[in-house]
Each structure stands twice: as structure tokens, then as C-alpha cells.
């Protein structure tokens, strides 16, 4: 009964916290994009060299997309003739660095974890996008087409109207991820209340050098939204799992999934798809080892 009560307390507290965070951050991001047009974004991202990679990564860091939701915007960037390197930096950064992920890590795992996670993933997104462009993988992009056209949003004259529309968009997104939040928090609550800490430390503690690559391998093929995996990560850290293995799991799960692999195959040739999977895996492993060192 004591374990059940502990699990229920974890579930209620963390779920309430994440709901407030999700709605608040999503509304704020939506409000920002009320004032930034698509043409402006494309113009900024069309800068060549490292500046383009920096801007592509920055755009990814402020767009609250999961790995699969990133693909439609990627197609739009390619059709708008945004440089390949900047586009690839966006593809990697968007699911890993979106503001919801960063705020959740800050709130649940602390500012040191959030800072290290943000720095590592930002640098890796910039560097990987640049490297993929330099080695000539732009030729592995298929001719992509967008059907149906894009719908222009009605321009609202008042701040209140923009705020209401931003919240409506946040609420709509929240309804889509609610089940993932509930599942993730429920699994985390079960781990927190019932999983023996000694077992976690033995299998995935800081003394096991294989814990990080294994966690990355587990995370990459799964369709695990960050909203699902971060509550699980919180419970695992409190049971003794190394922070490096937790971060590898978050990066692998949020950055790649089997559904995203199939969607990428529609716009990229097979070689580029496998290279991108390797990039996500390498980022997860590198981030994990860096976390354990600091």
C-alpha cells in the first residue's frame, strides 16, 4: 500500500506539472509565430555557411515538434530552396531541442542537466548539418512535392485575438499528446514506486560502460515522444540510473523513430536515411558520455 501511495503521488504531481508546462510553453511559441511570417523564416534560413546551420538549429529549438511532425516542415523548407545544411540542422534539432523538451528537463532534472543537454544537442545539430552538406549528401534528397497548397492564416489585428488563437493551437496540440503524457507519467510512477533501485543501478548505473549505447539503441527505433520519456527518465534517475544513460534514451527516443525512418525514406535516398540514423545514435551516445563525465 505504501508503494501504491508513493506511485499515485508521483503520478498526480508530475502530470499536473507537465500539463501546465506544455500549455504555457506551446501558447508562448504560438504567439511568437503570430508575428513571424513564413517568408521571413525562409529568408533567414537561406543564409549560407555556418550562419545557416545556426539559424536552422535555432528554428528547430523553438518549434515544438516531435520527430514525425518535423517532416512536413522539412519538405516545406526544401521546396523553398533553403540550403541543405540548414535544413538538416533543423531536422535534427527540432525534436531534440524544442522548448517543451528543454523546460521539462529543466523542471524535472535540474538546470545543469538542461544546460548540458541544450549545449550538446545544439552543437551537434549545427555540426552534423554542416558536415552532411560538405560531404555532398544534398544529392541524396529526392524531388519532393507538396500537394494541396498551404493555407494562409487570417491576420488578427489585436494581441488578444493572437493570444486566443495561440492558446487554441496549444490546446489542440495538447489533446494530441495527452495520452503520451499519461502513459509516460504512469510508467514513471510505477518505476518510482515498485522497481528495485539496486536492479536499476546494476543494469544502467554509472559503473556500467555499456548502459549508454544500449539506452541509445533502445531509444532510436521506438516512437517515444519526449513528453512520454522524460517522466520515465525522472523515475529512473531517482532509482539510480546514470544521467548519461537517461540522456541517451531521451535523445535516441526523441530524435528518431521507425515511423520517422519511413517518412524520411519518402524524401531522402536510403544512404542519407541511414546516415541520419547514425547521426542521431552518435549524438545520443556522445551526449550520454559527456553527461557522465560532468
Q: Are 105 and 230 in contact (CB under 8 A)?
A: yes
pLDDT digits (tens, 9 = 90+) for 158-200: 788 888 888 888 788 778 767 877 876 787 677 677 766 566 6
C-alpha to C-alpha distance for 170 and 176, rounded to whole angstroms: 10
Residue 126 has pLDDT above 90, yes or no: yes
How does residue 146 score in pLDDT terms, banded at 50, 70 and 90?
very low
Which band of pLDDT confidence, cut at 50, 70 and 90, is reported for residue 130? Answer: very high
Residue count of the chain: 294
Closest to 147 measured CA to CA, from 79, 215, 247, 83:
79
**pLDDT number for residue 170:** 79
What pLDDT is stored for residue 127 in this prediction?
Answer: 93
> pLDDT value at position 156?
60
Does residue 29 carry a pLDDT above 70?
no
294 neighbors 116 (Cβ within 8 angstroms): yes
In sequence order, which residues have a C-beta less than 8 Å from that of residue 210 and are 6 or more positions away? none
Taking residues 73-100, report their average pLDDT.
81
- Residue 236, CA distances (Å) to 218, 229, 256, 274, 279 in order: 15, 10, 21, 30, 25
Averaged pLDDT, 18-45: 74
Q: How many CB atoms lie within 10 A of CB 215?
A: 28
Q: To the nearest whole number, what is the mean pLDDT of the chain?
A: 77
CA distance 52 to 126: 9
Amino acid at each position: 500500500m505504501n508503494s501504491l501511495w508513493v506511485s499515485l503521488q508521483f503520478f498526480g504531481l508530475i502530470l499536473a506539472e507537465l500539463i501546465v508546462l506544455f500549455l504555457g510553453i506551446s501558447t508562448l511559441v504560438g504567439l511568437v509565430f503570430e508575428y513571424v511570417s513564413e517568408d521571413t523564416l525562409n529568408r533567414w534560413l537561406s543564409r549560407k555557411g555556418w550562419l545557416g546551420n545556426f539559424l536552422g538549429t535555432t528554428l528547430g529549438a523553438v518549434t515544438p515538434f516531435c520527430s514525425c511532425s518535423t517532416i512536413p516542415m522539412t519538405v516545406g523548407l526544401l521546396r523553398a530552396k533553403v540550403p541543405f545544411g540548414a535544413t538538416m540542422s533543423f531536422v535534427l534539432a527540432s525534436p531534440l531541442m524544442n522548448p517543451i523538451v528543454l523546460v521539462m528537463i529543466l523542471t524535472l532534472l535540474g538546470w545543469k542537466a538542461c544546460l548540458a543537454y541544450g549545449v550538446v544537442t545544439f552543437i551537434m545539430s549545427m555540426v552534423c548539418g554542416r558536415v552532411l552538406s560538405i560531404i555532398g549528401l544534398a544529392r541524396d534528397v529526392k524531388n519532393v512535392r507538396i500537394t494541396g497548397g498551404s493555407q494562409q492564416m487570417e491576420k488578427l489585428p489585436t494581441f488578444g485575438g493572437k493570444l486566443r488563437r495561440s492558446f487554441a493551437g496549444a490546446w489542440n496540440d495538447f489533446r494530441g499528446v495527452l495520452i503520451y503524457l499519461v502513459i509516460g507519467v504512469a510508467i514513471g510512477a510505477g518505476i518510482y514506486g515498485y522497481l528495485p533501485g539496486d536492479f536499476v543501478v546494476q543494469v544502467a548505473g554509472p559503473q556500467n560502460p555499456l548502459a549508454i549505447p544500449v539506452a541509445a539503441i533502445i531509444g532510436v527505433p521506438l516512437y517515444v515522444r519526449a513528453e512520454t520519456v522524460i517522466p520515465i527518465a525522472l523515475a529512473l534517475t531517482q532509482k539510480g540510473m546514470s544521467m548519461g544513460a537517461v540522456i541517451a534514451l531521451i535523445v535516441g527516443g526523441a530524435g528518431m523513430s521507425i515511423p520517422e525512418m519511413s517518412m524520411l525514406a519518402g524524401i531522402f535516398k536510403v544512404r542519407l536515411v541511414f546516415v541520419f540514423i547514425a547521426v542521431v545514435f552518435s549524438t545520443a551516445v556522445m551526449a550520454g558520455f559527456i553527461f557522465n563525465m560532468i
